[in-house]
Structure formats: structure tokens, C-alpha cells
Structure 1
Amino acid sequence: MSTMKDDFVSHGTHVELTTSLSQKRADDEAFKARARDGNEIEHALSPLEAIKAYPMAIFWCLMVSMCVVMEGYDTILIANFFAYPTFAKKYGQSVDANGHWQLSASWQAAVGRGSGIGAFFGVLLNGIIVNKFGQKRAVIGALISLSCTLFIVFFAPDIKILLVGQILCGLPWGVFASSAPAYASEVLPLSLRVYMTSYTNMCFIMGQLIAAGVLAGLVNRTDEWGYRIPFALQWMWPVVLIPILCFAPESPWHLVRQNRLEEAEASLRRLQRASAPIDPQKTLAVIMHTNALEEELSKGTRYQDCYKGNELRRTEIACMTFMGQVLAGAPFAYTSTYFFQQVGMPTDMIYNMNVGATCMAFVGTLVSWFGIMPYFGRRKIYMSGAFTMSAILFIIGFLGTKGNVMAVGYTQSALCLVWTFIFQLSIGQLGWAIPAEVGSTRLRQKTICLARNAYYIADVVGGVLQPYFMNPTEWNLKGYTGFIWGSTCFILAMWTYFRLPETKGRTFDELDVLFGKRISARKFASYKVDSFHHSIMLVLPSGEKVAA
């Protein structure tokens, strides 16, 4: 049996309760030394070394995150069906004598954000389910649920049933969106954390790219299979992922919080390469140390604890950075096919440009990973992206004052593509990564859930308003919509300057100390901290506390 177990686990306790007080103190010092060594190793690991040391952790993060492909697929699928001829004829209404069909603005808003409403409740439910059953069971259960609810969408005879199906499909999508970044942040070392938490966004893009390609390939079909085939393709993912994820290891952080220390160590051994210079016992000691530190700081595990004390600031940051994806103008840019249609582009070109926009998003993600994130902090990237996108949106708005000229419409469309690229360089990536690392470890899942729900609320509001901005039978703002989203993006940029701290290079216990000391957001990057100089207590199953 491992020395970690010999040192800290005897009959289900961290230390042998019958040992002498001097032996306890020796064990406490040994535990602290292990935790300190584990912390130093995590700081020292470069991304390349971490990839070599944690190959299976990376693999399982990739598998869990692949679930998010389906939500990304549906997001662009439904939004772009509004300009899809066969879909509009099936679920919309005739708007002129030339055979043009459209959904009304109210139904566009309802169907376009139906899955977001379902996901809102799915996320809340997931915060409770994961705390009890763990990430693995929650994700597998959601995949099984999705396999059933897809039947409603596929066979929907009218727009009302389609809306019900979208809402029900949103429930498991909410689980995927909140579990994937949390799982990645808990099974990977510090140097890989930002890449795999933001990989969730890459999965969104992959889903959008698949949907864009499918739509472009089927847009000329005149029968109902033009929109049914895209719906049916969503069954592919549960069939592939369910049998694979049955073998996934559970998060060691969850197991430590459940006091299942032997299982946590076994999980770490599955995630780390046996030949790597990483001691699973030291990694386990770091997890135990951080969990104990947060217990001392009185962090509970309920939703209401996210709004108490220093945790309120962390919740605000997580919610705003996620919601920032909407405030930056995503409802405008990600319904770009409808915007392209309103400025007079032919249907074939609309969907080809949509594929191009998604490809630019994919490239932007890769550029962000390899050309920006290794060299710049989260705060600088997020803030620079917000200011740049605000400027682009204002330019789109100013171009709208030039009248309904085809050249202006094409220029506005090109700027939408540029916006998409900048979005994926900055807020698109970090909107996922920051919420996954800014919350305390005991409340991480619930912090991510609240942040994702803040996104869904903003997305529903923005999604409801956006069709009214653009619909020719409503406000018909066309390019002037850029002024609205440019303003919200500028407000986001100003919030970032004053409130968003730098989390790059900080372990979870260091973040606990920084937030506990109420360090200013602009001083996070330069502040020196050593969490091991702060006295903490380990709480034994018997209720006894020992210094750690």
C-alpha cells in the first residue's frame, strides 16, 4: 500500500487517531512537506512536460468536452435555420406574394433561445447532481437523456412542439456546458488548465463548423429532409461517447471532498503517467491541503455560499466573464446569416460565408492557444479583445448610416467575420477558462453553474431582442444594431479594467489567499503569496481537527 495511505489514511482517517500527539505533529509536518513539494512541481511543469506527464488526463478531458459539440451544433443550427428556405416554409408564414417565408420575430426569439431556457435549469440541476454523484455519472446520465429528447425535435409537426423539444434538449446541454470545464480544471496541472478549459469553446466551434457545413450542403434541398437530416445527426454523439465515458476516471477533487482518499489516489494514478516525475501522493496532498484551507475559510458547498464573503467577488467575476460573451455581441454575430440575408446577399453565398466565419473562429482559437495565451495574461487578453470588438461593432453601426448600398452590406458582413476572429482570440476562449479557475475548489462546480446561467440569461435576453433589431417587420435596424452591441461591449471592457484579476500562473490555494486578502484586481499579477504560511486545519472524519 502507498506511503500516502500509511502516513495519512488508517481505517478511513487522515492520521491514526490513537497515535501520540508528537506523532501527529510529525505527520502534520510530513503532510505539509508533501503538499509544498506537489505545489512546487505543479508550478515548475512546462506545458510540454505536463503533456508528457498527464496524457490520459488530456484524453479524458477531450472526451468529456466532446459532449459540448452538440450544444455548439444546435446553437448555430437553429439560429441559421431562420434563413433556411425549407425550414421557414414548414414552421414560418408567408411574408409576400413572391413565395418568401419567414418565422415571426416572436417565434424566432422563442425557438432560438428555447434550448438556452432548458440549459438554464439543466445547469442548476447539475450543480446539485455533481456534488452527490460526481462528474462522470452526471455526464453519462445527460447523454442518455439527450438521446431521448432528440426524438421530439426530429418529429416535431409544428413550431410549438419544436419549441418544447428544444427546451428539453437544453437540460442535458446545460450539464455538458458546466461539467466539461470543471472536469478539465480538476484533472489537469496548472500549465494545461487554460488550454483544456477553453477547449470547451473549441468544441462549440467544432459543433458550429459541422452545422455550417451541413447547412451549406443541404440548403438547396426542397423537401423536409433538408432540416431533418441536421437534427438527426445529433444522435451520433451519444452513441459514440456513452460507451467511452463509462471508463473515465472520476475527478480526484470530488473524491477528496467526499473523503474517498484511496479512490482519489487511484484516480490520480490513472490520470498521470507512471514513468513521469510526478508523485500522485504529493498531488493528493496538494488537493487535501487546498480543500482544508477552504474549509478553514468557511467555504460551504451550497449555492447560497457562492454569495457570501469573499466568494461573492469570485462569483461576480465568473458570471461577468461568461456573460461577457453575450455582451460582446454574440447574438448579433452568431445570427450573421440572417443579417447577411437582410443586406441582400444570395442564399448560397450566405451559407458559404457562414462556413468561412466558423473556419475563422477555429483558426482564431488555435492562434489564441499558441500565439497569445502562452505570452499574455488572461486579464490583458480579455480586456484588449473587448475594446477591439467594441470598435468593430461601432464601425458596423456607422456604416449603416451610408444607406442600403450593396458595397456597404458586404463591408459590414466582412467586419462580422473579423469580429468572430477577435472574439475567438480573446473572450470566446477565456469566457470558459476564467470561470473554471476563479471559483474556490469546494464551490467550483456551482460557481461555473451560476456563471453559465448568467450567460444563458443574457443570451435569452439578447436572443429575444436581436430578431426585433433585425426583422424587417419589426424595428428593421440592420447595421445600426452595431451601435447597441458596441455599447454593451464597451461597458464590458470598462468592467474588465476595474474588476477582472489576473489568474494566470496561480494555483487554486494561491487564489484562495489572494481573494481572502481582498487584493485589487490590478495587483493580482504582481502580488507575492505563499499559501503554506497560512495556518490551516485538517478535519478528520471523527470531527477532530489537526494542524496542516
Structure 2
Amino acid sequence: MVASHVSDAPQPREAAVILTDAQEAAVEEKQMTLREGLRVCPKAIFWSLAMSTCIVMEGYDTFLLGNLYGQPAFRKQFGVLISAATDTYEIPAQWQAGLGNGSSCGQLIGLLLGGYCSERFGFHRTAIGSLAVITCLIFMQFFAPSLPVLLAGIVLFGIPLGMLQTTPIIYAQEVAPAVLRPYLTTYVNMFWAIGKLVGSGVLRGTLAIQGDLSWRITFAIQWLWPAILIPLLCFAPESPWWLVRKGRLADARGVLERLTTNTSRDDASGQSTHKAVAFNLDKQVALMLATTEHERAVLAQTSYAACFKGANLRRTLIVIGIYCVQVLSGNNLRSNSTYFLQQAGLPTSMSFNMTIVNNALALTGGLCTWILIPIWGRRPIYLYSLVMIPPPTNTNMSYSWAIGALLIASSFLYNCSMGTLTNTLCTEIPSTLLRSKSVVLARWCYSVMAIAGGSLTPYQLNKSAWNWGAKTGFFWAGGCLLGAVFAFFFVPETKGRPAAEIDVLFENNVSPRRFSETPVRIAEALDEGDIVKAV
């Protein structure tokens, strides 16, 4: 890349010139190939991945709390004696429900705080602050003497964990050019799968350890992530979009220069060995400025309430729907895969092994998304996956292996399509001013639905309750149908669209099914008057 090196800070220019630069920057981004993006922005990729590593903690925490009840030492420490002859202990059902939902309840608070703090203090400060709080709260879990103290520690731990749920996703969206954004935002979901894999390995490894140390180690492992990430993220650049929203244009350009790389090289004759990539830093800042000021002219408010006003209402409801479809598609059933497979007739050991395979395929599925996105875009993959995800519905227990195979196939398809694309779509659809808060609201609604689904699924599977067994798949197949209808009518194609173009499409009430074929010229669509007061 040959970046333009004019002045260290953009000088005031005519609004018409800024709009023209914004249009040219949008064209540059749309024409950039994946190979060029990798050459231009390796530093942006690195910092996005560093921030996304925070999601490993959520995946680990989710798996840990749902599977610690099977560890004998944990049950003996916190459970009640149910058989003196066999020295068997069990965690009471009400405490299992409380511990399982405790982190989710804390995350509901953390999500709202994260949406405020990330826009008030910046993304990397919010992430560092959350990790610092997490470091302290792990002590509460590690030394918990009783279930009430452990529950309090889990609820409090969920608050900073909730703040970290959306911060890496939005950061990945804002530090990289358009061609790299779907890869970086989908990779966030893969870090969640990595966390679950690490959790399953830690739990299996600690089974051989005697005494309280076996369950304490599982909590102590959580100190590893802040110890690595806090020092690293102290050097992370802030989002250039956030800096533009704060009016710090010179700083935004400086961050862009830091995130990009001049990849041109001269040979012995003094000729460049690489073709220059068109990526002008000043024009990119102009595009961010034009987009931000246009959105402020449409609706200057940046509160949570503003997400439900004007054109933002439609955008917010779409984002909420996309997140909630994850639950409707049977996420809770896939999360309870071990217990589901046991109810389907598989032995306990094989059910656990199948769950390990399930988690590994979740990571593989995310990698497959990278192949599908440039070929088909967002909307087709998202829509067709809801039709293709096979629910395990066979009620004959002699087909237990077939049911297990269907569940794994369902998990793989989910993670190579709608599961990973959720983050991409939900960061592209909202306006840049309300992106943090829109994603937070969507994730908040998802968490509420996940709690409801998590409470419902055990009743569906448990033999002492509704005893649906494998027929539970029919229920979630109906959820997939509702999700497919929603996706067909409301989910737009955002592939290759800069934020300003998406703004115009929503403001003009373009049908989501027409997004990909509707042309937009930013310089003609935006008003010069929106820019005047900003320059």
C-alpha cells in the first residue's frame, strides 16, 4: 500500500470536497480484494484478534458452569448427601438453576454498562477495565466456602463478562476495511468455541486430582486470560470510528496510519515491486466524518432510546431478531448436547466424546464460513442455513447414533453459517453512532431468550418432567421455520456496503431483498449541510 502522507491532521475543507473524498474512499474499499486487505492491514488483524481473545473467557465460563456439577469433588464440597452407602453427593436442582443462570443475569447488567462505557471511554479502555475487575472477582470463586458465596461471585463475574461480549465484535468492525470485516467478526464466534474446547479439556484433566484443588483449578485457569490480555491491550489502538465520533480527526488518521502498512518495496533498479493499493488515509477519515455527521443530522441522540426512533427502529429490530433467531434455531438444545444424547440412548462416555467432537466442529464450521462469505454473501447463507439445519427428531432409541450424527451436523451447519454471521450482520446493520448500543440491546434480548430456553430445554429432555426425549427436535424445528420467515423478509444483504450506503438504504426504506441491487452514490445521497458544522 502507498498511503497518502499529506499533513499530520486533516485541514478544513469544503463540504463538497469531503463528500467527494468520502465517495472515493467508499469505492476504494469496495474494490479492495482480500489479498490486498491482508497486505494493507496486518496490524488491524492482529489487534482485532487480540481484542477478540476476550471472548474465550465467555466460552470457557459457559462450558464450565454447565459441566462442573458432574465433578465429584465439586459435588462433595457444595452438594448434599443423597446416599451414605455410596457416598454420593448432588447439587440441589434449585442451586443448579441459580448457578447456571447467575452468570447470565450478571451479563444482562454488564451488557448495558458495556454499551455506555465503550462509547464514553473507548473500546480498549473498557476491555482493560473489565479484565481488571474480572481478575479480582476470580478470587471470590476460587475461595468460595459455600453455594451462596459462589453464586454471588458468579453473578458479579458475569457483569464484566457481559461488558466484554460486544466490545470485541464492534472493535473488529471498526478497525479493519470492509473486505476484512466479515472474517474478523466471524472469528469472534470461533474464540467462543475455543473457550469451550479449553473448558472441556480442563474439566477432563482435573478429574484425576483429589480434593478441592480439582474444582479450584478450573476457576484459577481464568486468571490466565487477564494476565496475558491486560498488558497486551494496553498498547492497542483505539477505534478510528470512535475517535471521529469524538471529533478527534487527527488522532483517527494517526490510528489508521498505525493500523496499515506500506507494503511497496523497491528492487535494485529503484522500481516498486508491488502495485500500490488505493487506500488513502485522509479520504477514509472523510468517509467516517461524512457518515457520522449525516447520522447526527438524521438523529443526534445516542441514547438507548434513540435506537427505537426513526429509521433506527427498523435497524434495531432487525438486529434483535437476528440474535434471537440463534435461540429459536435450537441453540439451547445444542448446548445441552451431552444430556440430550444420553436421553437419546447413548452411553455417558460416548455422549461426552460426541460433545467434544461437537465443540471441535464448531471451530471448523467457523473456518468454513470464510470460504462461503465471498461466494454467496451474508443473506443467502443466513437464510438457507435455517432451512438446512437438521433437527435430531428420530424417536426410536435404536437410532441413537443417527440422532447423534444429526446433532453434530446441525451444530456444524450452524457454526459455518448463521451462528458466525450473526456478529457480522449485527455490526453492519446499525448506524455507526448507535452501533454499540444496538448490538448491546440485541445481545440483551438474546440473553433473556437464552435464559428462557435454558429453563425450558431441561423440562423437554428430562424423563421426570415432560420426557420429550429426541422429539424435542420437533419443537426447535418450528423455531427454525419462524427464523427462516424472519430472515426472508427482514435480513438485508450488506456485503461490500460502507456504513454510509447502508444508512441511505435504510433511510429510503429499501426492501432488504433489494439491498444488493440498489445503487448508492454517497456524494449525491448525503447533504453537504451535514458536514459544514464539522469542518
**TM-score of the superposition, structure 2-length normalised?**
0.91
Taking a change above 3 Å as real, the CA distance of residues 85 and 260 of structure 1, as seen in their structure-2 partners, is: same
Q: Which residue of 2 aligns with 1:437?
A: 428
Cα offset, 1:36, TM superposition? 2.0
Distance of 2:182 and 2:521 partners within structure 1: 22
Cα offset, 1:77, TM superposition? 1.5
Aligned residues: 518
1:339 aligns with 2:340: yes
Distance of 1:478 and 1:106 partners within structure 2: 22
The structure 1 residue matched to 2:145, chosen from 153, 157, 161, is: 157
1:545 aligns with 2:526: no
Cα offset, 1:448, TM superposition? 1.1
The structure 1 residue matched to 2:115, chosen from 114, 124, 127, is: 127
The structure 1 residue matched to 2:444, chosen from 453, 461, 472, is: 453
Distance of 1:466 and 1:90 partners within structure 2: 27
1:204 aligns with 2:192: yes
The structure 2 residue matched to 1:114, chosen from 90, 93, 102, is: 102
Cα offset, 1:434, TM superposition? 0.9
SS at match of 1:536: coil
Q: Which residue of 2 aligns with 1:20?
A: none
Coordinate RMSD, CA, aligned: 2.2
Q: Which residue of 2 aligns with 1:527?
A: 518
Taking a change above 3 Å as real, the CA distance of residues 320 and 210 of structure 1, as seen in their structure-2 partners, is: same
Q: Which residue of 1 aligns with 2:386?
A: 386
Q: Which residue of 2 aligns with 1:323?
A: 324
Q: Which residue of 1 aligns with 2:16?
A: 29
Question: Residues 343 and 469 of structure 2 are in contact (CA less than 8 Å); yes or no, is this contact kept in structure 1?
Answer: yes
Distance of 1:213 and 1:345 partners within structure 2: 21
Taking a change above 3 Å as real, the CA distance of residues 365 and 196 of structure 1, as seen in their structure-2 partners, is: same
Question: Residues 114 and 163 of structure 2 are in contact (CA less than 8 Å); yes or no, is this contact kept in structure 1?
Answer: yes
Q: Which residue of 2 aligns with 1:373?
A: 373
**AA aligned opposite 1:359:** A
Distance of 1:386 and 1:159 partners within structure 2: 40
Q: Which residue of 2 aligns with 1:255?
A: 243
Give runs of aligned pairs for residues 156-175 of structure 1, distance below 5 A. Answer: 156-175=144-163
SS at match of 1:75: helix
1:281 aligns with 2:282: yes
Cα offset, 1:260, TM superposition? 1.0
**AA aligned opposite 1:225:** L
Give runs of aligned pairs for residues 469-480 of structure 1, distance below 5 A. Answer: 469-480=460-471
**AA aligned opposite 1:53:** V
Cα offset, 1:99, TM superposition? 5.8
Q: Which residue of 1 aligns with 2:268?
A: none
Distance of 1:106 and 1:387 partners within structure 2: 36
Cα offset, 1:539, TM superposition? 5.9
- Give CA deviations for 1:72-112 in whole Å, capped at 9, x if unaligned: 11111211223444434443445677665544443333212
Cα offset, 1:257, TM superposition? 0.8
**AA aligned opposite 1:301:** T
SS at match of 2:217: helix
The structure 2 residue matched to 1:78, chosen from 41, 47, 65, is: 65
Taking a change above 3 Å as real, the CA distance of residues 77 and 480 of structure 1, as seen in their structure-2 partners, is: same
Q: Which residue of 1 aligns with 2:234?
A: 246
Taking a change above 3 Å as real, the CA distance of residues 340 and 88 of structure 1, as seen in their structure-2 partners, is: farther
Distance of 1:175 and 1:365 partners within structure 2: 23
**AA aligned opposite 1:328:** S
Taking a change above 3 Å as real, the CA distance of residues 102 and 321 of structure 1, as seen in their structure-2 partners, is: farther
Distance of 1:415 and 1:93 partners within structure 2: 37
The structure 2 residue matched to 1:181, chosen from 169, 183, 192, is: 169
Q: Which residue of 2 aligns with 1:295?
A: 296
Q: Which residue of 2 aligns with 1:514?
A: 505
Taking a change above 3 Å as real, the CA distance of residues 221 and 480 of structure 1, as seen in their structure-2 partners, is: farther
Distance of 2:486 and 2:330 partners within structure 1: 16
Most deviating of 163-172 and 334-343: 334-343
Q: Which residue of 2 aligns with 1:51?
A: 38
Cα offset, 1:250, TM superposition? 0.6
Q: Which residue of 2 aligns with 1:24?
A: none
Distance of 2:313 and 2:429 partners within structure 1: 11
Unaligned runs of 5+ in 1: 16-26
Most deviating of 471-480 and 208-217: 471-480
Distance of 1:470 and 1:157 partners within structure 2: 32
Taking a change above 3 Å as real, the CA distance of residues 473 and 160 of structure 1, as seen in their structure-2 partners, is: farther
1:40 aligns with 2:24: no
Cα offset, 1:202, TM superposition? 0.8
Question: Residues 385 and 427 of structure 1 are in contact (CA less than 8 Å); yes or no, is this contact kept in structure 2?
Answer: yes
Question: Residues 324 and 431 of structure 1 are in contact (CA less than 8 Å); yes or no, is this contact kept in structure 2?
Answer: no
Distance of 2:68 and 2:339 partners within structure 1: 9
Question: Residues 23 and 521 of structure 2 are in contact (CA less than 8 Å); yes or no, is this contact kept in structure 1?
Answer: no
Distance of 2:366 and 2:220 partners within structure 1: 28
Q: Which residue of 2 aligns with 1:465?
A: 456
Q: Which residue of 2 aligns with 1:137?
A: 125
**AA aligned opposite 1:430:** L
Question: Residues 197 and 433 of structure 1 are in contact (CA less than 8 Å); yes or no, is this contact kept in structure 2?
Answer: yes
Q: Which residue of 2 aligns with 1:19?
A: none
Taking a change above 3 Å as real, the CA distance of residues 350 and 535 of structure 1, as seen in their structure-2 partners, is: closer
Cα offset, 1:369, TM superposition? 1.1
Q: Which residue of 2 aligns with 1:21?
A: none
Question: Residues 292 and 536 of structure 1 are in contact (CA less than 8 Å); yes or no, is this contact kept in structure 2?
Answer: no
Distance of 2:155 and 2:113 partners within structure 1: 15
**AA aligned opposite 1:313:** R
Cα offset, 1:221, TM superposition? 4.4
1:87 aligns with 2:88: no
Taking a change above 3 Å as real, the CA distance of residues 443 and 356 of structure 1, as seen in their structure-2 partners, is: same
Distance of 1:346 and 1:177 partners within structure 2: 35
Counting aligned pairs with the same residue, the percent is 37
Most deviating of 109-118 and 358-367: 109-118
**AA aligned opposite 2:62:** T
